[in-house]
Chains A and B, each alone.
Chain A
Amino acid sequence: MTYFVVLFLIGFVLGVVAVASNPAPYFAALGLVFAAAGGCGVLVGHGGSFLSLVLFLIYLGGMLVVFAYTAALAAEPYPEAWGDWSVLGYVLLYMVGLLVIGGWLSVDWYINSWVVIDDFGTFSLLRGDFSGVSIIYSFGGGMLIVSGWVLLLSLFVVLELTRGLSRGCLRAV
């Protein structure tokens, strides 16, 4: 279990390195998918399977799909992947920075630093993460209404931003 968590953590950080080195947006979205998959694996290893499901569903299935087809606006004839020297320079810079700082911090890590705290005492139907999320519907009712209102308002924000016909924003004329 600990070994899986270590592998998923490494996959998460490498995925974020793949995004941060700024290749063409097609490949950056792919790196973000791998980073989200690694992050979901870490959460599952720690016992938060509902939060991992929410991340996959909303983040990858909702937001990243929108980014993926918006990548059609960023089309270029020769997209730069991580093999191009301009992107590879950033990748090497970030990997060297990670290894240096990780090496400086890892003197305090021992074999039990990676062990996962999970509730193995009882096999209960109620896990901590989704029991906690259901608090939104009782004590967190105000925050539920506020976030619903914010989502509705952002819909109108998007409508105003992309209005066009010289009434939108970012007009060059």
Chain B
Amino acid sequence: MTPVHFSFSSAFILALMGLAFHRTHFLSALLCLEGMMLSLFIALSLWSLQLEATTHAATPMLLLAFSACEASAGLALLVATARTHGTDRLQSLNLLQC
């Protein structure tokens, strides 16, 4: 595994662990999701650049477009959570708790 490959793979796994071990705020979990998307963008761009596959240069742009949709949906859920529960803290999402 080359060092560049290790760096974006470890960035993805770190952001995934940050999403899995979320602590208090919903927004910090969404930011970890954005970190995963950033590492995927870097990975796809470096794939196109290092292998000199110029037609693959469009893939990170399309990834960015779809990730903008995902981020907007996540933020709309955050706003809806803050509107109903008053805060975005994850402890307040406890309606299904027995």
Instruction: Flag if A51 contacts B18 (CB, 8 Å).
Output: no
B80's partner among A51, A66, A108, A170 (CB-CB below 8 A) is A170
User: For chain A, which range describes its interface: under 10, 10 to 19, 20 to 34, or 35 or more residues?
Assistant: 35 or more
Dominant secondary structure at the B interface: helix
Per the bound structure, the CA–CA distance linking A32 and B66 in Å amounts to 19
If the complex has contacts A105-B1, A164-B83, A172-B84, are A35 and B64 also in contact, measured as CB distance less than 8 A? Answer: no
**A96 interfacial contact with B, CB 8 Å:** no
Instruction: Flag if B73 contacts A154 (CB, 8 Å).
Output: yes
Instruction: Flag if A73 contacts B14 (CB, 8 Å).
Output: no
If the complex has contacts A17-B14, A67-B27, A170-B77, are A9 and B49 also in contact, measured as CB distance less than 8 A? Answer: no
Question: A-contacting residues of B (Cβ < 8 Å)?
Answer: 1-4, 6-8, 10-11, 14-15, 17-18, 21-32, 34-35, 38-39, 41-42, 45-46, 48-50, 52-58, 60-62, 64-69, 71-73, 75-85, 88, 95
Question: B-contacting residues of A (Cβ < 8 Å)?
Answer: 5-6, 9, 12-13, 16-17, 19-25, 28-29, 32, 35-36, 39, 42-43, 46-48, 51, 54-55, 58-59, 62-64, 66-67, 70-71, 73-74, 86, 90, 94, 98, 101-102, 105-106, 108-109, 113-114, 117, 119, 128-133, 135-136, 140, 143, 147, 150-151, 153-155, 157-158, 161-162, 164, 168-172
